[in-house]
């Protein structure tokens, strides 16, 4: 599809006011009355009008975004493209004649801001996609969709991987930090080569991310969580323990008198964000009572003595 944002000279996240301002400036510059009906500049004026007709309308802009970012079918049309839906969204009232070929389907009539619907279709997808006996552009290669498994740590920190492209060559892709399972990476031009000798562009490669779970670590937004079992004496007296992180093991201090459920924060040990900052890792203390302590007479006596000395008040408030 044509890049309507590029035609209007605005960024893809431009707001309505910016789009309108750029349109007015370009329309004034390329208006036929200003250019003395220069043929090329008149075509440019029409292209500008068509681009604004889509980007200046919320519904049309949203549908254009969906089609623009969809995988491409072997016939060169976006996945999910439907001729009648296109006509309903972009066509307005049916009126002017002319039959337009929509990648295998036909739609007759329809206008858009006074223009033939087929003219708009040509503006979005290229004149070669229209009917009327025009020459077709070289066929584009098919897109390739694959799966890219990565580890929990690679998802948290980002990584680079060498993968096989649709042509059989090897290409290095960058996996940004913070990705989750189900996320999709697009590698332009690395799908299947164009069929025949027409010089068509290759398709794109789409990689669906599959994050393998970690044995101990879990993710909560940009933070990472870990449950750590400690003994009663370790929690009561305090200790130092080794815990895993996405960058390897680190030493954590358990303060004396730590209760079960307490959380210790390891700052900057979480998931890397788009701006380079990091979330935290939260270490949750889980006190494990000694098994069989009540069955040993001497141990039981020691625990009862400990209870008399230290457990003078119930921790339960209800």
Q: What percent of the chain has pLDDT over 70?
A: 77
Write the DSSP symbol of residue 286.
E
Beta carbons within 8 Å of 279's beta carbon, 6+ residues apart: 221, 222, 223, 224, 270, 271, 273
Fold identical between 4-129 and 144-211? no
Q: How far is CA 1 from CA 76, 78, 83, 127, in A?
A: 9, 9, 15, 11
Angle at the Cα of 117 from the Cα atoms of 116 and 121, rounded to 5 degrees: 125
pLDDT, one tens digit per residue, over 273-293 is: 988 899 999 999 999 988 877
Say if residues 56 and 20 touch (Cβ distance below 8 Å). Answer: yes
pLDDT band at 162 (very low <50, low <70, confident <90, very high): very high
- So what CATH class is 4-129? mainly alpha
pLDDT, one tens digit per residue, over 22-31 is: 998 998 888 8
The CATH homologous superfamily of the domain defined by 218-310:
Urease metallochaperone UreE, N-terminal domain (2.60.260.20)
CATH number of 144-211: 2.60.260.20
Mean pLDDT (the chain, rounded)? 81
């Amino acid at each position: 599809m044509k890049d309507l944002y590029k035609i209007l000279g605005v960024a893809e996240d431009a707001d309505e006011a910016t789009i309108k301002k750029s349109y007015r400036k370009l329309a004034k510059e390329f208006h036929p009355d200003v250019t003395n009906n220069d043929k090329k500049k008149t075509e440019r004026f029409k292209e500008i009008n068509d681009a604004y007709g889509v980007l200046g309308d919320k519904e049309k802009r949203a549908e254009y975004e969906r089609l623009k970012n969809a995988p491409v079918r072997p016939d060169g049309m976006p996945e999910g493209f439907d001729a009648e839906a296109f006509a309903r969204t972009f066509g307005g009232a049916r009126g002017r004649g002319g039959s337009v070929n929509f990648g295998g389907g036909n739609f007759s009539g329809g206008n858009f801001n006074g223009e033939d619907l087929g003219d708009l279709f040509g503006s979005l997808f290229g004149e070669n996609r229209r009917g009327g006996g025009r020459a077709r552009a070289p066929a584009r290669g098919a897109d390739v969709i694959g799966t890219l498994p990565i580890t929990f740590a690679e998802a948290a920190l980002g990584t680079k991987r060498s993968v096989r492209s649709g042509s059989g060559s090897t290409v290095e892709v960058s996996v940004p930090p913070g990705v989750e399972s189900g996320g999709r990476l697009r590698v332009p031009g690395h799908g299947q080569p164009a069929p025949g000798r027409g010089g068509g562009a290759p398709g794109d490669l789409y990689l669906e991310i599959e994050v393998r779970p970690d044995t101990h670590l879990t993710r909560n937004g940009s933070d990472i969580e870990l449950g750590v079992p400690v003994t009663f004496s370790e929690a009561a007296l305090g200790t130092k323990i080794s815990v895993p992180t996405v960058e390897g093991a680190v030493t954590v201090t358990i303060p004396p008198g730590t209760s079960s459920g307490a959380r210790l924060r390891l700052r900057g040990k979480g998931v890397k964000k788009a701006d380079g900052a990091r979330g935290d890792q939260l270490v949750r203390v889980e006190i494990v009572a000694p098994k069989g302590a009540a069955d040993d007479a001497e141990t039981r006596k020691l625990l009862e003595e400990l209870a008399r000395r230290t457990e003078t008040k119930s921790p339960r408030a209800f």
